[in-house]
Structure 1
Amino acid sequence: MFDWQVIALRALGALIMLFLMTRILGKKQISQLTFFEYILGITLGDLAGFISTDIEANYFHGIVAMLVWFLIPLGIEFFTLKSKKLRQIVEGSGRVMIKEGKVLEDNLKKERLSIDELLEQMRGKNVFNVADVEFAVMETSGELSVLLKKENLPLTPKTFGIKVANEVETQTVVMDGDILDEPLATAGLSRGWLTEELEKIGVSVENVFLAQVDAYQQLYVDLYDDKIKVAAPQGKALLLATLKKTQADLELFAAATRNEEAKLMYERTSGEMTAVIDSLMPMLRS
């Protein structure tokens, strides 16, 4: 067997092992790493490269080394899940960098972080003024977590006491001109409904690059030809307009009738319709 064939087989074996080990160790290996995970990733990669190309080395010995570097961290991860003290030893703990708008220089030195690096991380969080920060913590992954002072927090609907509807996952029902039946079924819809909606806007499914349906069964379409403009979904606006028209009609009927019993019924129904509109307003305006 030629050397290049041996290297190809060894590399393939190392790649498969490295993939399986990474999958078992979990997604933390490809996210922000702690010191221990950083060392582990480098060592496993270096071992995989070494046993792949060094054909004079014993391949089995390299596999044993990779297994040791895999099994010990796997065991440590298991025990750190059970023990907070061990978790602090292995992964460390977060350290406060800014408190009540003041930089803690001693903690900055302990993390061997310069003020320029701290400001750079803050800018990465869209925070440019230290005085605006209530707390900033350097996490074990090296990521800076920032909590702004209350007066500097972004405004939300809750700030004004406005109720909003809970978000529901949007379903992708067409991709690259192909209808996806499973997302359609998840949204409680059918191919017939999709075809009908596309016909309303004069589009065939073959011309659709991407189509998504939201929680209110509104269809958003992106075509292959970007020059063609597709009208934005009007389902919620039409529903709101219909409800308001119905409520207005009920008030008109109440004012026009001379029958007191009918008048009271129209007024009561109009009030109920107003309550329905108020309850649906957060969803229909979002």
Structure 2
Amino acid sequence: MLTKRLGVASYYSVVIVVVYLILSKLTLVKGLKPLITDSPTVLVRGGDIDEEGLRKVHLSLEQLLGILRHKGYTNVSDLEIVVMEENGSISAIPKSDKRPLQPSDLYMSPSPAFIPIPLIMDGHIVHHNLKYLEKDEVWLYDQMKSYSLDRDQLHQVTLGTFNQKGFLEIDTNNPSDHRQGMYNYKPGDEN
């Protein structure tokens, strides 16, 4: 009996996947896309909440405000447009005077984006990254000295990364390295 139900459930699962794949392919056909998908819905325009848009997408005001807070916006009037996209995600574009300052606003040209390269992870050296950078363990241990660490203390390094300036940045697992004070309060600490 149970085996028969599993077979039926598997059959329906396969059917759902096939229907999904067919519909996703049909959305690429220009003439069929409007029949299958909904167009983006405006939720805020010019700082004013579009109540009709909220009703259309079945989103409460509280949900919208929560989503906007998650995106870093606390004041709806700071937003030029908020849209629920075809895929259900929400895009928020701030008014020009409320958007984050860009380097081009100050006629600056920032250096290219750089991803720090891990050289030590959980007390273990990442040898292939050292090789990629054409560095060796002697260089690595010399860099550790600037953090008052020697090779015997490698196990204390949680993460060591090669930064854009060509130096090693280290985070250790030593809790005494973390500063105390009101700006470093951690919820749950005994006061």
Structure 2-normalised TM-score?
A: 0.76
The CA deviation string for residues 89-126 of structure 1, in whole angstroms up to 9 with x for no partner, is 44422111222222233323322333333333333323
* Residue in structure 2 matched with residue 240 of structure 1 by the alignment: none
2:156 is matched with which residue: 207, 218, 221? Answer: 207
The letter for the 1-side match of 2:158 is F
* Residue in structure 2 matched with residue 197 of structure 1 by the alignment: 143
Residues in 2 aligned to 1:212 and 1:142: alpha-carbon distance in whole angstroms: 37
Whether 2:14 is the aligned partner of 1:67: answer yes
Higher percent of residues as helix: 1
* Residue in structure 2 matched with residue 175 of structure 1 by the alignment: 121
The CA deviation string for residues 149-199 of structure 1, in whole angstroms up to 9 with x for no partner, is 111112232211122111111111111111111222333423232122224
* Residue in structure 1 matched with residue 23 of structure 2 by the alignment: 76
Whether the 8 Å CA contact 1:171–1:187 is kept in 2: the answer is no
- Percent identical among aligned pairs is 23
The letter for the 2-side match of 1:137 is V
Structure 2, gaps ≥5 residues long: 179-191
Residues in 2 aligned to 1:193 and 1:85: alpha-carbon distance in whole angstroms: 62
Number of residue-to-residue matches in the alignment: 175
The letter for the 2-side match of 1:171 is I
2:76 is matched with which residue: 130, 148, 151? Answer: 130
Whether the 8 Å CA contact 2:47–2:78 is kept in 1: the answer is yes
Whether the 8 Å CA contact 2:122–2:157 is kept in 1: the answer is yes
* Residue in structure 2 matched with residue 41 of structure 1 by the alignment: none
> How far is 1:200 from its partner?
4.4
Residues in 2 aligned to 1:223 and 1:106: alpha-carbon distance in whole angstroms: 53
Name the SS for the 2:10 alignment partner: helix
Alignment of 1:1-286 (within 5 A): 55-57=2-4, 59-80=6-27, 82-203=28-149, 204=151, 205-228=154-177
The letter for the 2-side match of 1:73 is Y
> How far is 1:220 from its partner?
0.8
Residues in 1 aligned to 2:127 and 2:42: alpha-carbon distance in whole angstroms: 50
Structure 1, gaps ≥5 residues long: 1-53, 230-286
Residues in 2 aligned to 1:129 and 1:83: alpha-carbon distance in whole angstroms: 39
- Larger radius of gyration between Structure 1 and Structure 2: 1
Higher percent of residues as strand: 2
Residues in 2 aligned to 1:75 and 1:187: alpha-carbon distance in whole angstroms: 47
* Residue in structure 2 matched with residue 242 of structure 1 by the alignment: none
* Residue in structure 2 matched with residue 15 of structure 1 by the alignment: none
The letter for the 1-side match of 2:173 is Y
| Alpha-carbon spacing, 1:86–1:188, altered in 2? closer, same or farther (3 Å) | farther
Whether the 8 Å CA contact 2:121–2:158 is kept in 1: the answer is yes
Name the SS for the 2:97 alignment partner: helix
